[in-house]
Every structure is written in C-alpha cells, then in structure tokens.
C-alpha cells in the first residue's frame, strides 16, 4: 500500500531554493492580471524550460531530463480566467494544467487527476499566498481516494520559509525570491496521520517558479527524489 501511495504523492508533487519577517520587506500583493502577475508570469505564449534530476531508488542512480512548460491558451473555467499550461511539470505529471493568480496568490488546478485508477476532478492547489511573510501557513482541500480498500485523505500544507531571498539557479541570480515549503499530511483508516512528501519551491517575482526540490521520508529513511531547476524562459 505504501508503494502505491508514494507513487501517487510524488506524481501530485511534480507540478506541478536571506529571509525576513519584517512587513517593510514584504514583497506585497500581486500586481498584474489573472494570468500574468508577480511570481506567476503566465501570459500566452510564454515558455519555461527546466532541467529535472530524478533519483531511482532501485538502481541508486540519478537521471537527468529536460522539460518545457508552455502557456498555450487563456480560457475561462469554473467562472475564472486561467492560463492553460502544457508540460511535464504540471500537477500530477499530467500533460496539461491550469494556473491563475489574484491579489491572494497563485493557484494551480487539475481538471482530472488519476490516482490508483481513480479520477479526481477539479482539484485546486493554492501554491502561494500573498502578501508573503515568513511563517504564513495555509492548506489545500483534502484529496480522498482508496488504496487496497483503505480510504486515504491527503492534505497539502504550505508555509512560507523565506522572502526577499537571493538565489542562484543554473548560473542565474534572482534577487526577489519567495521560498515555500509544501508537506503532504496523509490520514489512512485506522492509522494516525503522518507527513510524507515534502516539496520546497522557489518563486522569483519576475520569472515565477525557478526551482523545486521533492523529498520523501518515512520512519526509516529520507530521500531527495526530484530536483527541477529553471534553465531558460521566455515571457511574452
């Protein structure tokens, strides 16, 4: 059961690195429109290329690949305006995801998620909440699915770890970076809740998502499973 659950959680986390808690240094509310704004520049035709390094637990080897996310359409769905993004880095590892932003932050949405043969529809993930201050926390709505007859409930819990960071990713230095930590909290029938997958994401005010690191831990071991770094982007 744990193997199936781990694979599902990793898929969900693949979307899909100087701190301050002073309001004077607050990055502020999002500026822009519903699909092209601070920390989420998803205007039509924009592209973002990532280098992805994934760890194979069975072979003990790292594998490197490239993937490109492209904003291919601006659409209205569930009464809101969304950017349609195609690429391997979207929620659930699917080929297509939706993204939008508002004065409250960045939200991703998967119209259809496949988890252990079950379909989860219209699941929203509140990835970033603004104004960004260190220690701010929030959570997604829980996702429920069955694994081998057990009901699983997974909630994504987010916390802002740093603001106004300077990060160098793939040789490029970014000066206005927000660091967000995401943890999955899983509840299974008859068992106490536990934390599993952790994803640390870094958002630049101009370029959007620039890096993510996915790790998985249980009571025995902790492994870094996926590292994705932005290596090229073109914002329209």
pLDDT in tens, 169-204: 999 999 999 999 999 998 988 788 888 889 999 999
Tell me the average pLDDT across 52-72. Answer: 87
pLDDT tens across 201-213, in order? 999 999 999 999 9
Dmax (CA) for the chain in angstroms is 51
Q: Which of 48, 27, 84 is nearest to 211 (CA)?
A: 48
User: Is residue 5 over pLDDT 60?
Assistant: no
Tokens (6 digits) for 32: 């822009």
Q: Position of tokens 């967000």?
A: 180
Structure confidence by residue, pLDDT tens digits, 127-168: 999 889 999 999 999 988 888 888 889 999 999 999 999 999
Average pLDDT of span 59-78: 89
Q: How far apart are CA 89 and CA 55, in angstroms?
A: 16
- Evaluate the CA torsion angle 72, 201, 195, 127 in order and state its sign: negative
Domain count, the chain: 1
Show the domain range for 159: 2-234
Q: Tell me how far apart the alpha carbons of residues 5 and 149 are, in angstroms, rounded to a whole number.
A: 12
- Reported as a pLDDT band with limits 50, 70 and 90, residue 24 is very low
Nearest CA-CA partner of 31 in 22, 40, 19: 40
Predicted pLDDT at 155: 93
Return the structure tokens found at 182.
Answer: 């995401």
pTM for this prediction:
0.82
Residue 224 has pLDDT above 80, yes or no: no
Which CATH number does the domain housing residue 204 bear?
2.40.360
Which pLDDT does position 203 carry in this prediction? 96
């Amino acid at each position: 059961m744990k193997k199936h659950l781990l694979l599902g959680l990793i898929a969900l986390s693949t979307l899909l690195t100087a701190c301050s808690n002073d309001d004077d240094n607050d990055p502020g509310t999002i500026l822009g429109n519903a699909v092209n704004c601070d920390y989420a520049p998803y205007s039509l035709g924009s592209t973002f290329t990532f280098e992805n390094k994934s760890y194979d637990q069975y072979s003990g080897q790292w594998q490197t690949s490239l993937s490109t996310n492209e904003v291919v359409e601006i659409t209205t769905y569930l009464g809101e305006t969304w950017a349609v993004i195609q690429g391997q880095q979207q929620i659930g590892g699917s080929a297509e995801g939706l993204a939008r932003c508002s004065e409250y932050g960045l939200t991703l949405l998967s119209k259809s998620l496949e988890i252990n043969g079950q379909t989860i529809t219209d699941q929203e993930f509140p990835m970033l909440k603004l104004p960004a201050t260190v220690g701010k926390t929030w959570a997604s709505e829980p996702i429920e699915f069955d694994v081998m007859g057990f009901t699983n409930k997974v909630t994504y819990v987010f916390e802002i770890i740093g603001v106004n960071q300077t990060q160098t990713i793939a040789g490029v230095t970014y000066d206005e970076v927000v660091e967000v930590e995401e943890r999955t909290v899983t509840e299974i029938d008859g068992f106490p809740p536990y934390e599993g997958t952790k994803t640390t994401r870094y958002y630049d005010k101009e370029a959007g998502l620039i890096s993510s690191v996915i790790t998985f831990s249980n009571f025995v071991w902790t492994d870094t499973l996926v590292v994705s770094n932005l290596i090229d982007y073109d914002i329209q």
